[in-house]
Structure 1
Amino acid sequence: MPENDRDLTRRPDPDALLALAEKGSRGKLTVFLGAAPGVGKTYAMLTRARRLKEEGVDIVIGLVETHGRSETAALLQGLEVLPRREVSHGGRTLHEFDLDAALARRPRVIVVDELAHTNIGESRHPKRYQDIEELVDAGIDVLTAVNIQHLESLSDVVAQIAGVPVRERIPDTVLSRADDVLLVDLPPTELIERLKEGKVYLPENARRAVDRFFRLGNLTALRELALRRTADRVDDQMVDYLKQNAIEGPWAAGERLLVCVGPDRLSEKVVRTASRLASGLNADWIVVSIERADRDSADSQAMRQLDETFRLAEQLGAETRRVVGSDFVEEILKLARREHATQIVIGTRRQRFPLRLLRRSLPDALAERASGVGVHLVTDSGETPAALKPVRKRALPKGFGRALAIAAGTVISATVLGVLIESFIILQNISLLYLLAVLASATLAGYVAAIAAALFSVLAYNFFFIEPVGTFTVAEPHEVFALFVFLAAAFLAGGLASRIREQAKAARRRATATQALYDFSRKLSGTADVDDVLWATVTQIQATLRRNAVLLLPEGEDLVLKAAWPPDTELGVSDMTAARWSLEKKEPAGSDTDTLPTSPFQFRPLTSPHGVVGVCGFVQNAKPLEINEERALAAILDQTAIAVDRARLSRESLQQAAQLEGDKFRAALLSSLSHDLRTPLATITGAVTSLRELGARMTAESRDDLLKSIEEESDRLMRFVANLLDMTRIEAGAINAKRDWVDVADVIRSALERARKYFPDREFETSIAADLPLMRGDSVLLGQVLFNLLDNANRFGGEEPVSIYARKEGDEVVLSVTDLGRGIAPADLEHVFEKFFRKGKPDGRSLGTGLGLSIAKAFVEAMGGQIKAESPAVKRRGTRISMRFPAAEADLSEKERG
């Protein structure tokens, strides 16, 4: 390959550059990692802090636990220490890290020890690592320390090594997002020696620690874990550097894991194992659960177990999926192909001998059908420490008693019916009655009832109908065979019937949920007002979840409660703080989350394609949301976000349209001013200049012509200014039309006199009906309307006379002005009454301002009339503009009737 082509292909990785740019706006996180307590993490961290202090860096101690070690406490001298926050908990006063004080102080570097510490319940975050993440997001560098056993993915391994559970854990992503991970190492023998000397714990605690945790084998294993994890982190940093600088490296480019889990305890181990595998391979991984379409999603215990597994996977950095299907192997392989997975991780348990003969396990079937994809099996053969073993409550399945009662009832009914039938007639296929009982039991109470009915049916059939009757023995061999065939058929039929029943129940539930969401979406689609959308949403959430709900929208710099159900719901200070956090960080906050969990509400952001448009909150009861409720809530919130965003965009569109209309108005006004003011002013100026300079030498006729042009152009300016003033009154809504008695004929004559004065060369014709009644209106406004119409006809009416007609049609007075000019194009008829609309050829006369007809329309409507333009008017040419007003007699008769 040519050198220039090779340079083109060796470009920095865009994702790596984007990650580097995001780090530039955040603070730097440095983690001091140790294999066990006492290796010197805090000592090394404080030594780094003192060195930074000597270099002039603004550094403070947010929180450090010395555990009574004098050499560690000595390092705190000379360093600024933030006071701790006092918290009352359980009748005691505890001292916690003050996050708000640290953010207010805003040092360049802060030291916060005990990364895996659990905060008091009243704190903003339940875990200290979340406090540190907020400090880093605020641009503050943080030094912190943690032991390897606190990593979530290693908690099960550490529990097996040490024999004790790890209570305080942090997600592996905290360590993977750290800018620097510094391993603080100490050989196990030296650590045990320090422990015996009392340099780690007090002597009494030290002896117990040596006997339980600080054993040579445990410490060696933990040291290996710490070294391996640090090496993996260094390898990740090296790969990032190579990608950012377009340096060719040997890293693998296509590893992607697909992890299969279910609602069982083994799935947690599968997820942790997959996390360690993904970390070692530097690969992305997806955790997926396959659910049957007929599965009863109301099994809350299984669903909660699955939700806990998914939350663990998300904490460890995985993407989660839920897939509905019947063929698990096909669905897994289909998803693996779609996501380009290179390896599949799945848990397996040892099957007992009879089950292995009857069917293959899912991992075996997957390994057989997978092609080109590696399959990792995670077994459950290891011994679980006693402290980690869950307490199992042995209980009968829900509805077991009812299922037995229904099975017994159907079998007894079939037996009684069979005995009655045989008293009249001997039937060879009486067993069909029992098969019917099995089907009825399966339909009424499910698979348990079907199995019980099958067993009961075999016993009853044998006792009452197989010779010798009244005993459970079978005399004929073929009856034994028939009995077993019947039992198999009953099991098969009952299983099919129960499965159909479960599928029908699942279909009804899905149909109900789908119909509810469909009705909700239709309601939102027909709602344009934001308030209506919000009220529809809170009522829908309350009806779906049976929990109180609130909706908040941002207004300026604040977040305002807009809708709540019940309407009298109020939010406290902690609730509003959690809601603001959800809006700003675009993540859930409040109850059952990692931020302000003491709030009774859980807040979730309403995210649209254009960003977060609001926050929804609902009361999180002791019982968490089930999977179906989660899906319904997610769908409701998505539709609400889109509806709110649509209403906002609609409002902004109207504002922009109004702004564009205003810009158009201003542009047209400036254009009109530049033309309609400049032309008469130039004429007046020229005439005045001529009279001043040459007036004495001009003839009387020439001076009269100049004075006449000055008078005409002055009148033209006055009309233009009057039109602008009228339009200003119209735009301001300041037109107050009078409701006096108006003689239309007098107004027409006055308008004609004014028009003949301004247009002496124009011929006008009138036709006024003799029975023309009076009308209610404003004679001044009506006269201005007629003059504007005559002015328009004079400009565009050609040389033919302009006609004015007035007549009565029914209960209306109709006035029209008709010219015989070129007319108006059909496409322009609907625009002629718009402001500044000027189109056409004015037959050599001035084009005008484009305001006359729009003013006429506003005046006519202010008087309660209607105005309309027609073209062509007469003999396929000309324009007629007609107006209709209620006649005075009709108006008076209406009042009398009222």
Structure 2
Amino acid sequence: MPEIDRDPASRPDPDALLALAEKGGRGKLTVFLGAAPGVGKTYAMLMRAQRLKEEGADIVIGLVETHGRSETAALLEGLEVLPRREVAHGGRTLHEFDLDAALARHPRIIVVDELAHTNFGESRHPKRYQDIEELVDAGIDVWTALNIQHLESLSDIVAQIAGVPVRERIPDTVLNRADEVLLVDLPPAELIDRLKEGKVYLPDSAKRAVDNFFRLGNLTALRELALRRTADRVDDQMVDYLKQNAIEGPWPASERLLVCIGPDPLSEKVVRTASRLASGLNADWIVVSVERADREAADGEAMRQLDETFRLAEQLGAETRRIIGSDFVEEILKLARRENATQIVIGARRHRFPLNLFRASLPDALAKRVSGIGIHLVTGKIEPVARTRRRSKQLLPEGLERALAIAGGTVGLATVLGLLIEQFIILQNISLLYLLAVLASAVYAGYFAALAAALFSVVAYNFFFIEPVNTFTVAEPHEVFALFVFLAAAALAGGLASRIREQAKTARNRATATQALYDFSRKLSGTANADDVLWAAVTQMQSTLRRNAVMLLPEDGDIALRAAWPPDTELTVSDMIAARWAFEKKEAAGNDTGTLPNSPFQFRPLMSPQGVVGVCGFLQEDSPLEINEERALAAILDQTAIAVDRARLSRESLDQAAQLEGEKFRAALLSSLSHDLTTPLATIGSAVISLRQLGEGTPKDAREDLLKSIEEESGRLTRFVTNLLDMNRIEAGTINARRDRVDVAEVVHDAVERARKYFPGRVFETSIALGLPAMRGDGVLLGQVLFNLLDNANRFGGDEPVSIYARREGDEVVLSVTDLGKGIAPADLEHVFDKFFRKGKPDGRSLGTGLGLTISRSFVEAMGGRIKAESPALRRRGTRISMRFPAAEAELSN
């Protein structure tokens, strides 16, 4: 949709001022731009650096590539050169720009050559232009050099010209943000001579360059690109200066066209003529239409023509604007001055007699008030049939019978009231009743009814109230004058009332449409799922357009119907072909288009900044949308495309988060494997080697210690592998916990004995309540849980004894394992059961895999229990992990 320009005030442009403010505190970027290597960009930088050095400026050389050119290398003498950073790449040692050293030195000016260079090795940024941006953000002025072929927007053109692809590229925004662009130019013939003389490349490389890239035609084309790009940048800077300082243009440094159109067939010819003119002048152009506030009251077909003209202008590369105002000439001239337009292109139609006597045309009015701007008139001939049809529409509006009926009824009612009043009192201003009738007709039926009521009122007032009554004769001359004055006043009042009625109607329609779009946007803002977005869109379209609507999204290399309203709406084979065309070609297809018009549906692509995200279809059946429906549809489609794109990005974000989480788990698992497998294996291997080397000569105590180490480390490996297998069973969902009666005391005793065997230096204390009931569960899983908790307490519980308690609380059996170590930080309590969570520094003990508590929680929940960690446990220290299971007797009673 064209931009609506509602701010006619002449003041500095806010965006330009904001861009200027953002440069405060930043350094300045100066780019030495050339058409090709060898034109002298680095030489020019160093010459300028030497001059500033002589003046006492703080300038250093961050990086300069001399490419073996002796005259360039000579200019480095006397300048401070920062040392380069060494990086390894492809088996070689390369020297890269040291960004950190430059930031630490923080000179006033730094020279960093080759803006488009790609960094190697472990660099902070992948591209050198990003290094330079960081320097500029730090307040350092930077000088750099760039060849025109490295601009992203020109890389394909350069590849076509030179026949070789451009690998090093930078975004155009980098050059656009430069504070100064200096063109370093050299005629192509002179550059080729320098190349042949070996002043650009070594002889072998120079010969290949002349045969391939450095040809006269190539260099001439590149030179033109560099000149044009520099001119465009300078022109942008001039426009920014005008906007920042509220200076009214034009300053005709380069051509800019302002094209004025309206809702008429001639406007299409105006746009096409302006496109050819802009192309010939290589100029930017803006297409504008000035519309009144009550424009919705205009002819719907004319407004459709205006929208089609705007679409044509956008296809031809123009910027489009809509301006709301009443003084067309003033609005056009304000926009022309604000945009620094140098020429105005406008259509000129010939006004027939007698209209040309009373009203000047828009081009004539512009010509009288314009200064310093050229005006191009595009003439055309409107077909008489079309003009006659339009005039008939204006003279015989829709609802003519209703308008005449309302006018006659209100005038008749006023006449009856006037005759009744005269039965009781004679009034001199009885004509005010007819003025009231005119106003009522205007309010209820529009201007035509008001004009008819004014004429009817004159006739009725003359016949019934002006002497001699009951005749159309006027006896007194002043009555004739009063009659005409009344007619003029009634027509004027009726026109004003009718205009207010139309504006109120327009305001109501706009408010309704705005509220509907606001409600729709609020509904979309709270919707993150693509299907919900599509269903909201089709219901909104159906309620707005009163037509069947469908939405299709890409799926498995094709597009598929995802939402429709009414839900039973189906698409035929020809409908799907039209939908695919709209999706692939990014243009409308189906009914009332040039592609597959036999389909009853019209399909339009849903365009987002990322491209086509889907297709919308609505039932057309040769009944085109009205202009207001067209605009409402465009707004709905724009919001739907953004919402669908947002839903896609949200889904991709979740997928990436899941992948990152998986990578995190894999990294933690590999870390655990590297430690918990390598350490025991190394210990076992060392013990075995010692036993083998010493053989029978090994002292008995040493032999026992080595065998004990092998036994302990083998146990660690067994527990580690068991945990991994248990974790695999948990994630695969293959844990089938049994529901047997379990003697808790027996399970606790077995787990403690097993722990004492593995951890002989640890003291374990047990306390089992008398009469402790059995629980329903799996004894094997419960034993594994208790052992995992004891293992955890052994690692993190310090040297104090570990206590195991079992008791009954109501209908539950409670088991707890308590240690008196340093405890767990409150922030970590909710994470201790997460996979691979390992915290703390146990004295001389391994941190473990971080799976033991995770497995314990899964086993407890599989048996229908709950597990909880508390810290501190006793005397403001330690950790208690408690488990609760339903007692077997409680299950039976239930």
- Superposed pair shares fold, TM > 0.5: yes
Cα shift readout 1:94-127 (whole Å, capped 9, x = no counterpart): xxxxxxxxxxxxxxxxxxxxxxxxxxxxxxxxxx
The answer (yes or no) to whether the contact 2:158–2:222 under 8 Å persists in 1 is: no
Residue 611 in structure 1 maps to residue 748 in structure 2: no
Mapped to 2, the partners of 1:304 and 1:789 lie a distance apart of 77
Mapped to 2, the partners of 1:19 and 1:304 lie a distance apart of 38
Mapped to 2, the partners of 1:636 and 1:25 lie a distance apart of 46
Structure-2 residue corresponding to 1:708: 708
Alignment counterpart, residue 243 of structure 1, candidates 219, 224, 232: 224
Structure-1 residue corresponding to 2:134: none
Structure-2 residue corresponding to 1:101: none
Greater displacement, 493-502 / 738-747:
738-747
Structure-2 residue corresponding to 1:261: 261
The answer (yes or no) to whether the contact 1:695–1:703 under 8 Å persists in 2 is: no
Aligned runs of 1:389-788 on 2, under 5 Å? 394=392, 396-476=396-476, 479-770=479-770, 772-788=772-788
Residue 348 (structure 1) shift = 4.1
The answer (yes or no) to whether the contact 1:295–1:502 under 8 Å persists in 2 is: no
Mapped to 1, the partners of 2:500 and 2:808 lie a distance apart of 78
Residue 406 (structure 1) shift = 0.9
Mapped to 1, the partners of 2:797 and 2:436 lie a distance apart of 95
Greater displacement, 466-475 / 696-705:
466-475
Structure 1 residues 463 and 239, CA, compared in 2 at 3 Å: closer, same or farther?
A: farther
Mapped to 1, the partners of 2:268 and 2:607 lie a distance apart of 31
Cα shift readout 1:736-783 (whole Å, capped 9, x = no counterpart): 222233343333333222222222322233444446444332222222
Alignment counterpart, residue 20 of structure 1, candidates 154, 157, 160: 157
Mapped to 1, the partners of 2:430 and 2:392 lie a distance apart of 39
The answer (yes or no) to whether the contact 1:10–1:247 under 8 Å persists in 2 is: no
The answer (yes or no) to whether the contact 1:242–1:248 under 8 Å persists in 2 is: no
Mapped to 2, the partners of 1:247 and 1:408 lie a distance apart of 70
The answer (yes or no) to whether the contact 2:735–2:862 under 8 Å persists in 1 is: yes
Greater displacement, 286-295 / 839-848:
286-295
Residue 365 (structure 1) shift = 3.9
Mapped to 1, the partners of 2:271 and 2:892 lie a distance apart of 87
The answer (yes or no) to whether the contact 2:161–2:221 under 8 Å persists in 1 is: no
Mapped to 2, the partners of 1:477 and 1:889 lie a distance apart of 118
TM-score, normalisation: structure 1: 0.68
Residue 609 (structure 1) shift = 1.9
The answer (yes or no) to whether the contact 2:553–2:561 under 8 Å persists in 1 is: yes
Greater displacement, 632-641 / 467-476:
467-476
The residue type paired with residue 753 of structure 1 is E
Structure 1 residues 795 and 241, CA, compared in 2 at 3 Å: closer, same or farther?
A: closer
Structure-2 residue corresponding to 1:863: 863
Q: Could you say what secondary structure the match of 1:398 adopts?
A: coil
Residue 335 (structure 1) shift = 3.7
Mapped to 1, the partners of 2:391 and 2:581 lie a distance apart of 40
Structure-2 residue corresponding to 1:844: 844
Mapped to 2, the partners of 1:859 and 1:748 lie a distance apart of 16
The residue type paired with residue 659 of structure 1 is Q
Structure-2 residue corresponding to 1:289: 289
Mapped to 2, the partners of 1:18 and 1:628 lie a distance apart of 43
Mapped to 1, the partners of 2:161 and 2:559 lie a distance apart of 30
Mapped to 1, the partners of 2:766 and 2:401 lie a distance apart of 101
Residue 664 (structure 1) shift = 1.6
The residue type paired with residue 547 of structure 1 is R
Structure-2 residue corresponding to 1:373: 373
Structure 1 residues 317 and 725, CA, compared in 2 at 3 Å: closer, same or farther?
A: closer
Mapped to 1, the partners of 2:512 and 2:666 lie a distance apart of 56
Q: Could you say what secondary structure the match of 1:296 adopts?
A: helix
The residue type paired with residue 642 of structure 1 is I
Structure-2 residue corresponding to 1:175: none
Mapped to 2, the partners of 1:495 and 1:239 lie a distance apart of 66
Name stretches of at least 5 consecutive residues in structure 2 with no aligned partner.
1-31, 34-38, 46-144, 164-217, 233-251
Residue 576 (structure 1) shift = 3.8
Greater displacement, 586-595 / 731-740:
586-595
Residue 795 in structure 1 maps to residue 795 in structure 2: yes
Mapped to 2, the partners of 1:478 and 1:730 lie a distance apart of 107
The answer (yes or no) to whether the contact 2:591–2:622 under 8 Å persists in 1 is: no
The answer (yes or no) to whether the contact 2:411–2:437 under 8 Å persists in 1 is: yes
The answer (yes or no) to whether the contact 2:600–2:622 under 8 Å persists in 1 is: no
Residue 854 (structure 1) shift = 1.1
Residue 829 in structure 1 maps to residue 810 in structure 2: no
Residue 472 (structure 1) shift = 3.9
Q: Could you say what secondary structure the match of 2:424 adopts?
A: coil
Cα shift readout 1:193-212 (whole Å, capped 9, x = no counterpart): xxxxxxxxxxxxxxxxxxxx
Cα shift readout 1:492-541 (whole Å, capped 9, x = no counterpart): 33223222222222222222222322332233333333223223323333
The residue type paired with residue 412 of structure 1 is G
Mapped to 1, the partners of 2:220 and 2:279 lie a distance apart of 13
The residue type paired with residue 755 of structure 1 is A
Structure 1 residues 816 and 359, CA, compared in 2 at 3 Å: closer, same or farther?
A: farther
Aligned runs of 1:277-356 on 2, under 5 Å? 277-278=277-278, 280-296=280-296, 299-310=299-310, 313=313, 318-351=318-351
Structure 1 residues 480 and 815, CA, compared in 2 at 3 Å: closer, same or farther?
A: farther
Q: Could you say what secondary structure the match of 1:749 adopts?
A: helix
Mapped to 2, the partners of 1:538 and 1:588 lie a distance apart of 18
Mapped to 1, the partners of 2:604 and 2:671 lie a distance apart of 53
Q: Percent of aligned pairs with the same residue? A: 76
The residue type paired with residue 244 of structure 1 is L
Mapped to 1, the partners of 2:705 and 2:312 lie a distance apart of 97
Structure 1 residues 818 and 461, CA, compared in 2 at 3 Å: closer, same or farther?
A: farther
Residue 727 (structure 1) shift = 0.8
Residue 345 (structure 1) shift = 2.4
Mapped to 2, the partners of 1:284 and 1:695 lie a distance apart of 93
The residue type paired with residue 243 of structure 1 is E
The residue type paired with residue 880 of structure 2 is R
Greater displacement, 669-678 / 579-588:
579-588
Residue 319 (structure 1) shift = 4.9
Mapped to 2, the partners of 1:619 and 1:675 lie a distance apart of 67
TM-score, normalisation: structure 2: 0.68
Mapped to 2, the partners of 1:264 and 1:275 lie a distance apart of 18
The answer (yes or no) to whether the contact 1:297–1:627 under 8 Å persists in 2 is: no
The answer (yes or no) to whether the contact 1:297–1:628 under 8 Å persists in 2 is: no
Structure-2 residue corresponding to 1:63: none
Cα shift readout 1:544-599 (whole Å, capped 9, x = no counterpart): 33333333322343333333344455545554444333333333334443444444
Residue 360 (structure 1) shift = 5.0
The answer (yes or no) to whether the contact 1:242–1:249 under 8 Å persists in 2 is: no
The residue type paired with residue 459 of structure 2 is L
Structure 1 residues 725 and 311, CA, compared in 2 at 3 Å: closer, same or farther?
A: closer
Structure-2 residue corresponding to 1:148: none
Residue 882 in structure 1 maps to residue 882 in structure 2: yes
Structure 1 residues 745 and 474, CA, compared in 2 at 3 Å: closer, same or farther?
A: farther
The answer (yes or no) to whether the contact 1:16–1:243 under 8 Å persists in 2 is: no
Q: Could you say what secondary structure the match of 1:849 adopts?
A: coil
Structure-2 residue corresponding to 1:160: none
Residue 405 (structure 1) shift = 0.9
Residue 792 (structure 1) shift = 1.0
Cα shift readout 1:169-201 (whole Å, capped 9, x = no counterpart): xxxxxxxxxxxxxxxxxxxxxxxxxxxxxxxxx
Residue 487 (structure 1) shift = 3.4
Mapped to 1, the partners of 2:40 and 2:691 lie a distance apart of 82
Structure 1 residues 843 and 19, CA, compared in 2 at 3 Å: closer, same or farther?
A: closer
Cα shift readout 1:694-722 (whole Å, capped 9, x = no counterpart): 24223333322222222222111111111
The residue type paired with residue 20 of structure 1 is I
Greater displacement, 835-844 / 797-806:
797-806
The residue type paired with residue 849 of structure 1 is T
The answer (yes or no) to whether the contact 1:303–1:626 under 8 Å persists in 2 is: no
The answer (yes or no) to whether the contact 2:867–2:882 under 8 Å persists in 1 is: yes
Structure 1 residues 611 and 268, CA, compared in 2 at 3 Å: closer, same or farther?
A: closer
Structure 1 residues 451 and 679, CA, compared in 2 at 3 Å: closer, same or farther?
A: same
